[in-house]
Amino acid sequence: MVYIIGHTGQLCNQLFRFAHHAANALAHDYSVNNLAFSYSSSFPSLQNNKQIKLTEISKNANKIGQKLITKFSDNKISKTALLKTGTYIIDNKFTLEANQEDFLKHARNRTVLAVNWLFRDYENFNKFSDEIRSLFLPKEDVINRSREKIEEIRLTCDILVGIHVRRGDYISFNDGKYFYEDHVYYQHMKNMEKMLPNKKVSFLLCSNEDIEVNNYKDINIVSHRNPFMNDLTLLSYCDYIVGPPSTFSLWASFMGNIPYYHINDRTAFPSINDFQFVRG
């Protein structure tokens, strides 16, 4: 059994971490139990799964557990003593490629404590992508409301582009590098129109702040302030996604299996070939 411990970022950072663990567990036939997932109520398919499990404990308990386990893992004597009890620790120095045999032996027959947030198994993430999408479906009412909204929008357009206008914490993240003003998104939306000639393009704007719609006057936009799970689901039903680097838009792209483009440079505009699909 693998136990995931220690909170790591917001929703989609946690989703990618969990999904890679789930993919590896599905590929190698062992169980994983996530003790550090803050959004369990939003994903009903995870509630009663016998192999990919959730046991929600408090953030404080997770922090304490993460600190203690990390401290043990930094001490060779303590780490060796834990190994003798059948407990294997995955910390931030762990890579699956270098440690797969020992890791799988303990995952199948003993105990693994995973405190690192960058556990990645890209091969099996892609191999089991459909199973992962099924595991991480949102609530039925979120799906139904999102589908109804998308169907309504598609009555008036040929192509629907999701725009992730990430604000809030991005004003300070990386010194505000990806906190883009409305005119930056506007220019990228106009570029999308040019890339899709002879198509009626509409844009679905999703943000963690209110959108000033008057800054997009000559563009077909739809913008409503929604709960984060609704925005994530709505974006996944678009034809393309554009936004700053963020696991939020990456997860929407993955769930919808649709291409995305991340604006790393506000002055650089993509071609259609610059859009890509998520591969973990």
Say what the pLDDT of residue 89 is.
80
The residue ranges of every structural domain in the chain are 2-135, 140-274
At 122, which amino acid appears?
Y
Q: Do 156 and 202 touch, CB atoms closer than 8 A?
A: yes
Q: Give the strands of the sheet with 221-223, arranged side by side.
A: 221-223, 201-207, 159-165, 240-243, 260-262
**Domain 140-274 carries which CATH code?**
3.40.50.11350
Q: What pLDDT sits at residue 140? A: 97
In the Cβ-directed half-sphere of 102, how many Cα atoms lie within 13 Å?
12
Closest CA to 107 of 221, 220, 28: 28
pLDDT of amino acid 273: 95
Q: What are phi and psi of 112, to 5 degrees?
A: -120, 130
- The pLDDT assigned to 148 comes to 97
For residue 263, which amino acid is it? Answer: I
For residue 64, what pLDDT is reported?
65
Q: Tens place of pLDDT for every residue, the chain, 280 residues?
A: 999 988 778 899 999 999 999 999 999 999 999 998 989 999 999 988 999 999 877 667 666 666 666 655 555 655 565 565 668 787 767 778 767 888 898 899 998 988 878 899 999 999 999 999 999 999 999 999 999 999 999 999 999 999 999 888 888 888 878 888 999 999 999 999 999 999 999 999 999 888 899 999 899 999 988 899 999 999 999 999 999 999 999 999 999 999 999 999 999 999 999 999 998 7
The DSSP H or E segment spanning 105 is helix 96-109
Look at residue 138 in the predicted model and tell me its pLDDT: 97
- Which residues, 6+ apart, have CB-to-CB distance to 186 below 8 Å? 215, 216, 219
Q: Name the token pair of 23.
A: 């993919």
Residue with tokens 């008036």: 156
DSSP conformation letters of 192-230: HHHHSTTS-EEEEEEESS---GGGGTTS-EEE----HHH
SS3 261: strand
Residues constituting the chain: 280
Task: Write the burial class of residue 84 (CB in 10 Å: 0-12 exposed, 13-18 middle, 19+ buried).
Answer: exposed
pLDDT tens digit sequence for 220-257: 999 988 899 999 999 999 999 999 999 999 999 999 99
